[in-house]
């Protein structure tokens, strides 16, 4: 049962009420939206955390070493959940399922054999990753971008995510930064838990 507010095609708004504590909205065609019973505020567009960050400068890394990308520049951070100064991590304060997208722009590759990886770390460990391999004569690339995305549950208190990159190549490879089209990470809440 539920208390229902209906937009009809003949009488405008009508309502029926009971003591269930459940509220539903309906249109004349019978479509229903049930307003969820939650502790705190029911999520609507406008207070769902979203962020986007990138590196303001390139970062030299050691070959074959997973290295945290220093995402020190925010494009937006609607709920102030991203740390762009110390840990370069997203720690949302709203529990739920987050769509996360990330890319590592690998550069300064000086050999024919190179491998570039990107990983979204959750709580310090690899959660999602992607790798590109190039090898052999004729396959030399000076730079390329490898990207990964996924839907990740975050508990809204202690869970956090970070961006790591890994390049295996001769010399001193770089994770490229400078603009939003270089190394980046962004994401938003898509569903409450």
Partner 1 sequence: MTLYEKIKQLYPSLTDKDFMTVITLQNDSDGKGDYIKSWEHPTLPRPTDEELA
**Interacting residues toward partner 1 by CB under 8 A:** 59, 61-70, 88, 113, 115, 117, 131, 164, 168
For residues 82 and 94, what is the distance between their CA atoms, to the nearest angstrom?
Answer: 13
Residue 68, Cβ neighbours under 10 Å: how many?
Answer: 17
Question: Least distance (Å) from partner 1 to the CB of residue 83?
Answer: 12
Question: Least distance (Å) from partner 1 to the CB of residue 157?
Answer: 22
Which of residues 70 and 174 has its CB atom nearest to partner 1 in the complex? 70
Question: Least distance (Å) from partner 1 to the CB of residue 143?
Answer: 19
Which of residues 68 and 128 has its CB atom nearest to partner 1 in the complex? 68
Which of residues 8 and 133 has its CB atom nearest to partner 1 in the complex? 133
User: What DSSP designation does 7 have?
Assistant: E
- DSSP assignment of 76-132 equals EETTS-EETTTT-EE--SS-EEEEEEEEEEEE---SS-EEEEEEEEETTEEEEEEEE
Which of residues 74 and 95 has its CB atom nearest to partner 1 in the complex? 74
């Amino acid at each position: 049962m539920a208390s229902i507010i209906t937009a009809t095609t003949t009488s405008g708004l009508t309502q029926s009420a009971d003591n269930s504590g459940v509220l539903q909205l309906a249109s004349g065609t019978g479509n229903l939206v049930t307003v969820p019973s939650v502790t705190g505020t029911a999520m609507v567009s406008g207070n769902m955390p979203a962020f986007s960050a990138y590196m303001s400068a390139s970062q030299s890394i050691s070959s074959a070493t997973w290295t945290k990308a220093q995402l020190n520049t925010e494009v937006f951070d609607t709920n102030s959940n991203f740390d762009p100064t110390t840990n370069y991590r997203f720690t949302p304060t709203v529990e739920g399922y987050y769509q996360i997208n990330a890319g590592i722009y690998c550069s300064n590759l000086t050999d024919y054999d190179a491998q570039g990886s990107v990983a979204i770390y959750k709580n310090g460990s690899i959660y999602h990753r992607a790798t590109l391999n190039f090898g052999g004569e004729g396959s030399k690339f000076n730079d390329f971008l490898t990207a990964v995305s996924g839907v990740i549950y975050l508990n809204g208190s202690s869970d956090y995510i970070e961006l790591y990159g890994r390049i295996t190549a001769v010399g001193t490879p770089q994770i490229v930064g400078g603009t939003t089209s270089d190394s980046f990470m962004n994401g938003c809440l898509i569903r409450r838990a």
